Structure 1
Amino acid sequence: MLNPMFNGAAAMAWLACSLFFLRFWKQSRDRLFGFFALTFALLGGNAVAGALLEVGDERRYYIYVVRLFAFLLILYAIWDKNRAVRRGGG
């Protein structure tokens, strides 16, 4: 009973963060903000999937693949931003 409620609250928080970064991306067109908005939207969708699916079973590892991709996307966004600054484009 509590697990879907906590996953729903987490989804709401992830999607609110996504909208926050989306607003900054629309203002500045900085790719870092766009990547962060996409990442938080993915994590919000992952939380919704966690609320709808029973993830206590260890064989349902595929729900964590989305989290792995999201965190790798954050690392890529930081790398991309630092690469652009070194080239003088940031």
Structure 2
Amino acid sequence: MLKTLLDGAVMMAYLSCALFFLRFHRQSRDRLFAFFSLAFALMGVHNLLTTVVGPDLDAERRYFLFVVRLVAYLLILGAIWDKNRAGRGTR
């Protein structure tokens, strides 16, 4: 019961961060903030899936849920790479 409550609080924090970065994307039109917003939304979805579906899966199949988190981390790395690559041509 307490674990479910804490997982919900962490999911709410991830989605709050996603909305925070989405607001900055709308103000600046910078793709970095859009990618960060999408990544944090994916991490919130991962947390939701882990809470809802995770206990029903056996340990051998639970690793499929972490693909969502891997995609989110790769999205953050890609956003940072894209931001640094875009800045190179302006010098």
Query: Partners of 1:21 and 1:48 in 2: how far apart?
Result: 20
Count of residues in Structure 1 that have an aligned counterpart in Structure 2: 89
Instruction: State the shift of 1:3 in Å.
Output: 2.0
Query: Partners of 1:40 and 1:55 in 2: how far apart?
Result: 25
Gaps of 5+ in 2: none
TM-score (norm 1): 0.91
Query: Partners of 1:55 and 1:87 in 2: how far apart?
Result: 50
Would you say the 8 A contact 1:4–1:50 is kept in 2? no
TM alignment of 1:1-90, pairs within 5 A? 1-53=1-53, 54=55, 57-59=58-60, 60-88=62-90
Deviation digits for residues 2-45 of structure 1 (CA, Å, limit 9, x no counterpart): 22112111100000000000000001110000000000000011
Counterpart code for 2:4: P
Q: CA RMSD in A?
A: 1.6
Query: Partners of 2:56 and 2:89 in 1: how far apart?
Result: 44
Would you say the 8 A contact 1:22–1:37 is kept in 2? yes
TM-score (norm 2): 0.90
The ranges of structure 1 where at least 4 consecutive aligned residues each deviate by more than 6 angstroms after the TM superposition are none
Q: Percent identity at matched positions? A: 55
Instruction: State the shift of 1:58 in Å.
Output: 2.1
Question: 3-state SS of the aligned residue for 1:37?
Answer: helix
Gaps of 5+ in 1: none
Query: Partners of 1:56 and 1:2 in 2: how far apart?
Result: 20
